[in-house]
């Protein structure tokens, strides 16, 4: 596949998609960003042409919009060409958010991207959508250059996938934050929880299903312990409610009761 790619945006997704493309010898010809210094900052790492001027956007085969959800539609107007494929990388925005006269698609990587963290790009699942089979195949080929995992899904399924990522990543991380706060209030280091967090993760990674991996007072239907924990959360209605709801959800899963 000899396709030229332009990246629109210069945030964490743009940084990692650019890097993943270049590592797999895909030609990234330009980075466009409305703020020049961010585009400059990371295009210089790779010696790629960069610009903040819409009029300077070059002709390419594929344009990948890597901006925030809110900016996708506006940015999508900037591509002045018709004979090209413009895709965005969002899990929750439909194809119709792309507003130009070009061909349209989705190129959604399921991962959380931080600027300073290395990622195994070949493990990131890509979810593809396009208006026709030909463009679907172009995007599948592009994704497969980066990753072992590339799938065609419609917008509804993509939103479900995006939401399941919220449960395993955003909400899980927030539980870690809550535990961190509990430890801090007790003058205990959060470090003591890390071996337990590691084992929680490793059970799943070793292909034990989450259903089978479950342990704890709610799984055992141990109401005495549950009540003790709730009693020390009484002063914090947010944590009290969250503990109750999560416990009830586990009870419902294993003991079919609320």
Name which of residues 166 to 195 contact its own copies (CB under 8 A): 166-180, 182-183, 185-186, 188, 190, 192-195
- In the bound complex, what is the minimum distance in angstroms from residue 227's beta carbon to its own copies? 10
Instruction: Evaluate whether 14 touches 66 at the Cβ level (below 8 Å).
Output: yes
> What region does 168 belong to: left with phi over 0, alpha with psi -120 to 50, or beta?
alpha
Choice between 83 and 191, CB closer to its own copies: 191
Bridging pattern class, strands 27-32 and 4-8: parallel
- In the bound complex, what is the minimum distance in angstroms from residue 188's beta carbon to its own copies? 6
- Beta-sheet strand order (sheet of 150-152): 49-51, 27-32, 4-8, 62-65, 85-88, 103-109, 126-130, 150-152
- In the bound complex, what is the minimum distance in angstroms from residue 100's beta carbon to its own copies? 22
Backbone angles phi, psi at 117, to 5 degrees: -105, 130
> What region does 171 belong to: left with phi over 0, alpha with psi -120 to 50, or beta?
alpha
Question: Quick one: tokens of 121?
Answer: 């790009």
| 256 binding its own copies? (CB under 8 A) | no
Choice between 87 and 150, CB closer to its own copies: 150
Choice between 59 and 157, CB closer to its own copies: 157
Choice between 134 and 222, CB closer to its own copies: 222
CA 196 to chain CA mean position, Å:
25
> What region does 60 belong to: left with phi over 0, alpha with psi -120 to 50, or beta?
beta
| 215 binding its own copies? (CB under 8 A) | yes
- In the bound complex, what is the minimum distance in angstroms from residue 209's beta carbon to its own copies? 7
Choice between 57 and 159, CB closer to its own copies: 159
Of 74-82, 100-108, 130-138, 223-231, the segment contacting its own copies by CB under 8 A is 223-231
- In the bound complex, what is the minimum distance in angstroms from residue 222's beta carbon to its own copies? 7
Site for its own copies in 32-91 (CB under 8 A): 68-70
CA dihedral 96, 73, 124, 198 (to 10 degrees): -120
CA 69 to chain CA mean position, Å:
12
- In the bound complex, what is the minimum distance in angstroms from residue 238's beta carbon to its own copies? 6
- In the bound complex, what is the minimum distance in angstroms from residue 151's beta carbon to its own copies? 8
Site for its own copies in 103-142 (CB under 8 A): 110-112, 114, 117, 119-120, 123-125
Question: Quick one: tokens of 256?
Answer: 């079919």
Q: Is 111 helix (H, G, I), strand (E, B) or coil?
A: coil
Choice between 55 and 231, CB closer to its own copies: 231
Of 28-36, 73-81, 132-140, 214-222, the segment contacting its own copies by CB under 8 A is 214-222
Site for its own copies in 140-159 (CB under 8 A): 149, 151, 153, 157, 159
């Amino acid at each position: 596949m000899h396709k030229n790619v332009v990246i629109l945006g210069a945030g964490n997704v743009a940084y990692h998609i650019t890097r993943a493309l270049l590592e797999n010898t895909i030609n990234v010809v330009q980075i466009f960003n409305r703020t020049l210094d961010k585009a400059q900052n990371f295009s210089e790492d790779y010696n790629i042409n960069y610009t903040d001027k819409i009029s300077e956007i070059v002709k390419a085969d594929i344009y990948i919009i890597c901006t925030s959800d809110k900016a996708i539609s506006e940015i999508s107007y900037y591509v002045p060409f018709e004979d090209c494929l413009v895709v965005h990388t969002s899990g929750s925005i439909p194809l119709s958010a792309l507003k130009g006269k070009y061909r349209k698609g989705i190129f959604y990587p399921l991962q959380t991207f931080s600027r300073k963290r290395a990622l195994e790009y070949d493990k990131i699942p890509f979810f593809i959508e396009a208006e026709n089979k030909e463009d679907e195949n172009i995007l599948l080929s592009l994704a497969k250059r980066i990753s072992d995992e590339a799938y065609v899904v419609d917008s509804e399924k993509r939103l479900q996938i995006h939401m399941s990522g919220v449960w395993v990543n955003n909400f899980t991380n927030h539980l870690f934050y809550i535990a961190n706060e509990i430890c801090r209030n007790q003058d205990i280091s959060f470090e003591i929880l890390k071996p337990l967090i590691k084992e929680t993760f490793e059970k799943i990674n070793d292909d034990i299903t989450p259903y089978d991996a479950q342990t704890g007072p709610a799984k055992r239907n141990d109401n005495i312990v549950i009540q003790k924990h709730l009693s020390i959360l009484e002063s914090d209605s947010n944590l009290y409610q969250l503990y109750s709801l999560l416990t009830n959800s586990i009870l419902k899963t294993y003991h079919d009761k609320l």
